[in-house]
Amino acid sequence: MNMELDDITLNNVPGEVIGTVQRALDLHHDAKDNAALLQDALQEVVGMLHRQTNVIRKASEIKEVAKIFGYKPAQIEKFVKNHAETQVVSDAPDAPLPSWCNAEKLYGDGFVQLNQPEKGHKVGVYFSGTEQRLKRVSNFTIQPLIHIMDQRNNRRIIEIFNGRKTARVEVPGRALVTKGLFEATIIDKGSYLCEGMTEIQFKRIVGWLTDEMPICYDLVSLGWQADGKGFFAYADKVWYNGELREYSPLGVVEVGDTHYISMGVSNIHNDYRKTDNPYENDLYLKHVVNDDVNFEKWSAKFLEVFGSENGTIGIAFVFLTLFKDIVIGVTKCPHLYPYGPKGSGKSDFAESLSWLFFSGKNSEGKLMPGINLNFGQITPFAFYNALERFSNCPILLNEFDEQRMEDWKFGTIKSAYDGEARITGDVSTGKATKSKVQKVRGTLIIVGQYLSTGDDGSVLSRSFPCQFTLSRLDRLTNADIKAWDTLKTWESNGLSGIITELLQYRAHFIEQFRSVYWQVHEELKAELEGMRVRAETRLLRNYSCILAAIKIMESKVTLPFTYKAFFTQCCKTVTEHNSLLKENNALAKFWKIVEYCFTRNIINYDPVDRKHVTSDYDIRLMDNIRPKRGNEVVDHSFG
């Protein structure tokens, strides 16, 4: 006879596992044609099949029982599964499952987790053991949080709890391949141990973890992000579509329909000391609001402190920096090059521009420092990593001196103007042929005591030189000093909120820049030709950038100077800059000729008698000369 599944009530009826088929035959024989007795017989046999731990014997017994009771094997298997999922649980010692165990989770996921001790069961992950009893395979529970999708560093964030302490762990993809690598990753966080977990059980947990994790993208660079409509990512907030958004405690923010994570503010690293945070440098780019200072007040004070010649260029450079990705779509973006003797104010100038963006402080309470370019002060990896970390933000480089730094640094600064990136092998991928591109995403502010003449003035022609002199300090008044103190106080309190004030005009800048740039370029070229100045093409393009930026933004923000006055100033500056390049080129050529002659022994020098050893040339070191000025011969001593 046959029966419907709904007609059978599956209960846990004790019976011997051994002799299941014989027991089925006996029960079926005793029941004869009584439907109620046949249901009781079948439910007892199903309970016996459920307790059968030998899978091969169990499969064979299911087939035999199916024949005896007139069912298909698949129906009997379904009865056994329903029996497992609906059996009564209790805290009795002989109960198959304790009351806290969710049978649906156990048989669906393959395991269950206990977050609080329950009547002899400790915190941990449990799998089914012998006779359907639970077996603890770890002293911690595990929860999936997010999957960080990153081509170079793909990883997952999980939360583990051992009954006393909760930890969040970055688990690299390779640590989910084998149990040993996983254990090595979590042990760094404390007493988190796998106890008798098999590789098969580990794979079951990994499969569950990977299915449960939402995808999130790592903010590999902070600052402007081109994804979707675009947004500006501070370390602690995101500016998107005219509003500020907060990160979650995990460091995740939703922009559009995509999730991003800022590791600098994530609580993943709360277990470590603040000074050991590997993302501490990210925290310099924090959003800090000063309600008493807006862009109008800041730019007026900046100009008051640093003067009209350098201050105006510095303010224009802020616009170039914030909208650099727009600028390089039309032309090349120059560097800012403040130079002058020690104590002349060039570093203050550069730091004021940098700290307009970077208002965050490190664990010692200090604002973001510049990068020291001297020999051995920074490795190539750290240097290029810093250059690509912040998009549309200034990058401050101190101690720029071509004679006191490695050639690759000079080459990087030169090539950054042309938008050339560094291509290097990516060892993290494990592929010899794989490479990655490290771009210079921000603008460069290079600070040095001397004006660079190397490589025919290649850096000088790619920059806006801003000269600072000690004589300027002699003219400072008490009002000037007070203005300087005020500006530095603002910077210490934080000014980076001003950036969002300017970001609202990004669409206007995109719309206007190309046409305004070429219009200004032609106006500047015509004005210089009228002054009989034939400026280098590169200089015309450079100064057209800042002129276009001022002309575009003048209608949106209040500036402490007019575009007309700035245009007049730029004409004068381009003329001086052009002459400076020509002089430096001539000087460089002279010394190259001297160097060539010396290396070829065309000339040489005897330091003993301070005179050339041959009669072809008269080369000597002289401390004094007597040049003729008009009709008068004067003595001149070299310092």
pLDDT at 128: 81
CA separation for the pair 318, 405 (Å, rounded): 27
Q: What is the mean pLDDT of residues 608-624?
A: 63
Q: For residue 534, what are the CA distances in angstroms to 126, 524, 529, 571, 572?
A: 82, 11, 6, 12, 13
Statement: residue 636 has pLDDT above 80: yes
CA separation for the pair 456, 460 (Å, rounded): 9
Nearest-CA neighbor of 588 among 465, 469, 467, 459? 459
- Tens digits of residue pLDDT in 309-349: 999 999 999 999 999 999 999 999 999 999 999 989 999 99
Q: Between 360 and 591, whose confidence is greater?
A: 360
CA separation for the pair 385, 439 (Å, rounded): 9
> Which tokens in the block code for residue 116?
């609080």
CA separation for the pair 103, 98 (Å, rounded): 10
Find the distance separating the first CA and the last CA of the chain, reported in whole Å.
119
CB under 8 Å to 594, separation ≥6 — which residues? 603
DSSP structural state of residue 141 = E
Backbone torsions φ then ψ of 424, nearest 5 degrees? -140, 160
CA angle 337, 343, 344 (to 5 degrees): 50
CA separation for the pair 336, 530 (Å, rounded): 27
Of the listed ranges 272-276, 326-330, 387-391, 614-618, the least confidently predicted one is: 614-618
pLDDT at 588: 63
> Which tokens in the block code for residue 63?
């087939």
- Tens digits of residue pLDDT in 558-578: 999 999 999 999 999 999 888
pLDDT confidence tier of residue 1, bands split at 50, 70 and 90 = very low
pLDDT at 429: 47
Nearest-CA neighbor of 383 among 401, 396, 392, 402? 396
392: alpha, beta or left? (left if phi > 0; alpha if psi -120 to 50): left
Of the listed ranges 31-40, 255-264, 484-493, 580-589, the least confidently predicted one is: 580-589
Are 251 and 200 spatial neighbours (Cβ–Cβ below 8 Å)? no
Which range in 32-46, 188-202, 283-297 is most confidently predicted, on average pLDDT? 283-297
Q: Between 628 and 441, whose confidence is greater?
A: 441
Statement: residue 92 has pLDDT above 60: no
CA separation for the pair 353, 335 (Å, rounded): 13
CB under 8 Å to 190, separation ≥6 — which residues? 162, 165, 167
Pairing of the two strands 371-372 and 463-467: unpaired
Statement: residue 446 has pLDDT above 60: yes
Statement: residue 226 has pLDDT above 60: yes
pLDDT at 419: 78
Rg (CA), the chain: 38
pTM of the model: 0.74
CA separation for the pair 554, 566 (Å, rounded): 11
Q: What is the mean pLDDT of residues 177-199?
A: 89
